[in-house]
């Protein structure tokens, strides 16, 4: 019935997260409130890790794409689960470092890392810096030389895969700001250059073909293209690329019409192709890295809001206004992303209404969704937006000077704050 398996209706008819009453959470911590279920996060980590063990004999690493949801507690959980991290900024790297995250298990991404960020990565001895372009390569080589170290890098490659997903989240095709193009020979020239540079060690290649992908084929095809390139490098340059990072992008269930394959299926099909190409091309099986983000964080989360007003515009629509909006969840405004909602205090009742869930920001596009089926909804109700664990808190802003909500983690029937609610004092903290 619900998009995430940890959700249920309790004896009061309230929505519960792993047995914890969401109406109680709203009363205890206030709304808006992000709620994360620790067990859902941990079990996704274990499943990904297990799939590396079963399909690659353990010769690989799962790196959680922390941009999906990054805070110190999330980094601690990943460290505890033996999962690596994918970071895309100095800020994410700093967050990881603040909990003594093992730096050798970090992949540092980004299409325009600053000298300060690259220097921080070298200082912290980040395991792999994913180089996006030739300018970055040259800057990194110079910075590494100055620091007297060798930078361990992977190249971000555009394998030319058109994954069937929202246009804004397609990144594997040639018209993308990310990475080196294969088709044009740009990537091959860059590999030659990296091999020549003294303070660069080309540890491997990386690709990430997009997000919220439901088809298995694009992943299999991307792996095939990348291994073909590794074979070409071996044959023509005599250089062995030892690691292959296949990125993330596994789709999750946001609404009941989404039907993603279990990620074990992707992992298995991809591993079969990887082994097949390695055998055919006579190259050794590379160390495999995967970078799931959304699929670890999204199903674990939900957001609670309080309804403040309802406007019924006859024959047009009903606007239900909540105490958050695009400032804590900009995904509908950005991508027209769909979500399931529940009236948390009436979760046991049938959905008889269809509403537009509107935020409180001064922006007509500030909606969480339109045509959303929901229970009979009234002012004062608690609304739960489901599967908001990824790209909500991490994309939140202070638009309209609205403080960011707290994040509460639920585990074993109890709850704790892992990110404090911002205060008005936080809002003016940096103002002079
Ligand atoms: C965003 C991103 C991911 C994670 O994508 P999800 O869709 O959240 O799994 C992994 N790798 C890279 C390089 C990314 O940019």
Helix, strand, or coil (residue 384): strand
The answer to whether 157 and 182 are in contact (CB under 8 A) is yes
Q: Using one digit for the tens of pLDDT, what is the confidence trace for 353-400?
A: 999 999 999 999 999 999 999 999 999 999 999 999 999 999 999 999
Read off the tokens for 251.
């789709």
What is the position in ligand 1's atom list of the atom closest to the CA of 212? 7
**Cα 429 to ligand 1 centre (Å):** 32
Above 80 in pLDDT, residue 261?
yes
E strands of 139-179, at which residues?
151-158
Q: Using one digit for the tens of pLDDT, what is the confidence trace for 68-99?
A: 999 999 999 999 999 999 999 999 999 999 99
- Which sign, positive or negative, has the C-alpha torsion 346, 347, 350, 353? positive
**Cα 296 to ligand 1 centre (Å):** 11
What is the position in ligand 1's atom list of the atom closest to the CA of 291? 10
Q: What is the mean pLDDT of residues 219-237?
A: 96
Above 90 in pLDDT, residue 305?
yes
**Nearest CA, atom 11, ligand 1:** 247
Please list, in sequence order, all residues whose beta carbon lies within 8 angstroms of the beta carbon of residue 192, skipping any fewer than 6 positions away. 237
Helix, strand, or coil (residue 429): coil
**Cα 9 to ligand 1 centre (Å):** 32
Q: What is the mean pLDDT of residues 262-281?
A: 95
**Nearest CA, atom 3, ligand 1:** 248
Read off the tokens for 399.
């638009």
**Active-site annotation, residues:** 362
Radius of gyration from C-alpha coordinates of the chain: 23
Percent of the chain with pLDDT over 70: 97
E strands of 83-218, at which residues?
84-87, 106-108, 128-131, 151-158, 180-181, 200-206
Helix, strand, or coil (residue 265): helix
**Cα 374 to ligand 1 centre (Å):** 31
Scanning 148-212, the segments in alpha helix (DSSP H) are 186-196
Above 80 in pLDDT, residue 167?
no
246: closest CA among 267, 265, 264, 232?
267
Count the Cβ atoms, other than its own, within 10 Å of residue 296: 33
The answer to whether 36 and 408 are in contact (CB under 8 A) is yes
**Nearest CA, atom 10, ligand 1:** 248
List pocket residues of ligand 1, CB cut-off 6 Å: 65, 67-68, 86, 109, 208, 211, 247-250, 291-295
CA 270 to chain CA mean position, Å: 20
Cβ-in-10-Å burial (0-12, 13-18, 19+) of 79 comes to: middle
Above 80 in pLDDT, residue 238?
yes
**Cα 431 to ligand 1 centre (Å):** 34
DSSP annotation of 138 reads: H
**Cα 162 to ligand 1 centre (Å):** 16
Confidence of residue 172 (pLDDT cuts 50, 70, 90): low
How does the average pLDDT of the chain come out, rounded? 96
Read off the tokens for 174.
């040639």
The answer to whether 24 and 290 are in contact (CB under 8 A) is no
Above 70 in pLDDT, residue 170?
no
The predicted pLDDT at position 298 comes to 98
294: closest CA among 1, 15, 53, 70?
70
Q: Which residues on adjacent β-strands are paired with residue 155?
A: 131, 205
């Amino acid at each position: 019935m619900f998009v995430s398996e940890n959700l249920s209706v309790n004896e009061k008819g309230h929505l519960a997260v792993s047995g914890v009453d969401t109406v109680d959470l709203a009363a205890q911590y206030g709304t808006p409130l992000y709620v994360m279920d620790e067990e859902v996060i941990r079990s996704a980590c274990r499943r990904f890790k297990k799939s590396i063990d079963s399909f690659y004999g353990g010769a690989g690493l799962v790196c959680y794409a922390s941009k999906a949801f990054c805070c110190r507690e999330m980094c601690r959980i990943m460290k505890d689960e033996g999962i690596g991290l994918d970071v895309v900024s100095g800020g994410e790297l700093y967050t990881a470092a603040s909990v003594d995250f093992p730096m050798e298990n970090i992949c540092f991404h980004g299409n325009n890392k600053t000298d300060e960020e690259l220097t921080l990565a070298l200082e912290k001895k980040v395991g792999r810096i994913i180089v996006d372009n030739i300018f970055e390569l040259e800057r990194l080589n110079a910075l590494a030389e100055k620091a007297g170290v060798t930078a361990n890098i992977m190249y971000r490659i555009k394998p030319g895969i058109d994954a069937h997903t929202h246009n804004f989240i397609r990144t594997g095709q040639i018209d993308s700001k990310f990475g080196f193009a294969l088709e044009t020979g740009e990537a091959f020239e860059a590999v030659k250059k990296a091999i020549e540079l003294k303070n660069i060690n080309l540890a491997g290649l990386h690709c990430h073909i997009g997000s919220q992908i439901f088809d298995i084929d694009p992943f299999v095809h991307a792996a095939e293209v990348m291994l073909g390139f590794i074979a070409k490098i071996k044959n023509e340059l005599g250089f062995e690329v030892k690691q292959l990072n296949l990125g993330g992008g596994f789709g999750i269930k946001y609404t009941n019409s989404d039907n993603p394959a279990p990620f074990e299926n992707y992992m298995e099909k991809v591993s079969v192709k990887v082994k097949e190409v390695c055998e055919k091309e006579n190259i050794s099986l590379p160390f495999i890295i995967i970078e799931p983000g959304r699929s670890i964080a999204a199903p674990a989360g939900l957001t609670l809001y309080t309804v403040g007003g309802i406007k019924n515009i006859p024959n047009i629509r009903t606007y239900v206004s909540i105490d958050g909006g695009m400032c804590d969840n900009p995904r509908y405004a950005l991508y027209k992303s769909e979500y399931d909602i529940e009236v948390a205090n009436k979760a046991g009742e049938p959905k008889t209404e269809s509403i537009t869930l509107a935020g409180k920001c001064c922006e007509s596009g500030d909606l969480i969704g339109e045509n959303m089926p929901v229970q009979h909804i009234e002012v004062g109700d608690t609304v739960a937006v489901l599967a908001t664990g990824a790209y909500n808190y991490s994309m939140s802003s202070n638009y309209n000077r609205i403080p960011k909500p707290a994040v509460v983690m639920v585990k074993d029937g109890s709850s704790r704050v892992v990110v404090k609610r911002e205060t008005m004092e936080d809002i003016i903290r940096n103002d002079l």
